[in-house]
């Protein structure tokens, strides 16, 4: 599956000093000790179907993309995946963990959507708990997967 290596521009959110950014695979190992516990908290809702090593391997093999919010240390981590359906490609928000989502979620969402468009993605999907419905207001619940159609301008 083709993925994009180009790092999106990180966003320094106002005067908070928070940085929201895509993490290139070659940089993931350097921060994995901070990222792994955040992601593994979310895995408990999926019966621990992935270990920390499984997740890191997927990032290093470019099968998943790592995104973080950083303020003095990693405060949140998100993994996405590109999925090729027969008729089109989607970007799936696969796993998220951390704190202060209200401070970083909008910036991260914009970055993921920009990255997805650059990778010829038609739709964003989110696999997660129902609480995401309240956070991502322009997404809609379809079955148990949330999606958002991307618009090319």
- The DSSP annotation for 19-79 comes to EEEEE-HHHHHHHHHHHHHHHHHHHGGGTT-S-HHHHHHHHHTTSSEEEEEESSSEEEEEE
Predicted confidence at residue 119, as pLDDT, reads 93
pTM, entire model = 0.78
According to CATH, the superfamily of the domain at 16-149 is: Gcn5-related N-acetyltransferase (GNAT) (3.40.630.30)
Q: Distance between the two ends of the chain, CA-based, in angstroms?
A: 25
Q: pLDDT tens-digit profile of 99-125?
A: 888 888 888 889 999 999 999 999 988
Could you say which residues of the chain have pLDDT below 50? 1-10, 12, 14-15
């Amino acid at each position: 599956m083709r993925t994009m290596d180009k790092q999106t521009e990180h966003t320094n959110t106002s005067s908070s000093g928070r940085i929201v950014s895509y993490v290139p695979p070659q940089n993931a190992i350097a921060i994995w000790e901070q990222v792994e516990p955040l992601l593994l908290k979310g895995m408990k809702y999926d019966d621990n179907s992935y270990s920390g090593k499984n997740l890191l391997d997927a990032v290093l093999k470019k099968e998943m993309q790592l995104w973080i919010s950083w303020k003095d240390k990693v405060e949140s981590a998100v993994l996405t995946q590109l999925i090729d359906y027969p008729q089109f490609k989607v970007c799936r928000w696969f796993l998220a963990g951390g704190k202060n989502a209200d401070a970083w979620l909008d910036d991260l969402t914009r970055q993921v959507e920009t990255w997805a468009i650059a990778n010829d993605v038609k739709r964003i999907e989110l696999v997660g708990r129902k609480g995401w419905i309240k956070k991502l207001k322009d997404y809609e619940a379809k079955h148990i997967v949330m999606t958002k159609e991307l618009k090319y301008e």
